[in-house]
Amino acid sequence: MSDVLTQIPEIIQNHIRDITRSSGLPNNEESVAQIAMAWIEKKNSFEEKIESMNMEEVDTLEKDSDKGAIVLTYSGSLLNVGPNTEDGRNVEYTSVGLRKDVPDILTNENCKLKSDLIIDEVAEFENARPVKSTSQIFKIAICKDADITQEEEEELLKKTATVIMDDFVEVNKTIMIDEDLE
């Protein structure tokens, strides 16, 4: 097993192998190590960006909470779960970007959380197409500011998700460049 892979929680290592198989990269230990290193870089980026954007990590977001969240899944996908309004939540799902078996980006308006968002559980949605659920949740981040309006919170969540995704794209480019050099 790759030394890099051992730096990732054991429960996520299988997701790294699955991503490698569906990435288009050779299905070997070198590719697994590349994907694992990318996952670590993405996790670090997520943590740095949420801190710099005045957000905090939590273990749970209750389904009926008015707050929104940025969620990182085991597979490295990102969810921007908007604040809960009377019409529901706007949810944007962005995949890990290397997989060929899931869409890159999906947006759902006016959907609801089927259950609370909880670390190590899947995120499930009602009134969402085509993403009804995700892989297990690795991290959840919410806005620290309790006095923020829903409009301000939605804007902060979008901005944070965009900044994180820009970093994710750059990380993915390094994997593709490495592959092209071989």
pLDDT in tens, 60-111: 999 999 999 999 999 888 999 999 999 999 998 887 555 444 445 667 688 8
As a whole number of angstroms, the distance between CA 22 and CA 35 comes to 11
Spacing of C-alpha 8 from chain mean position: 16
Can you give the pLDDT at residue 129? 64
Q: What spatial distance separates the first Cα and last Cα of the chain, rounded to whole Å? A: 21
Tens of pLDDT along 134-176? Answer: 789 999 999 999 899 999 999 999 999 999 988 888 887 777 5
Can you give the pLDDT at residue 114? 92
DSSP element (H, E) containing 94: strand 89-94
Q: Per-residue pLDDT for 124 more than 50?
A: yes
Q: Would you place residue 15 in the very low, low, confident or very high pLDDT band (cuts 50, 70, 90)?
A: confident
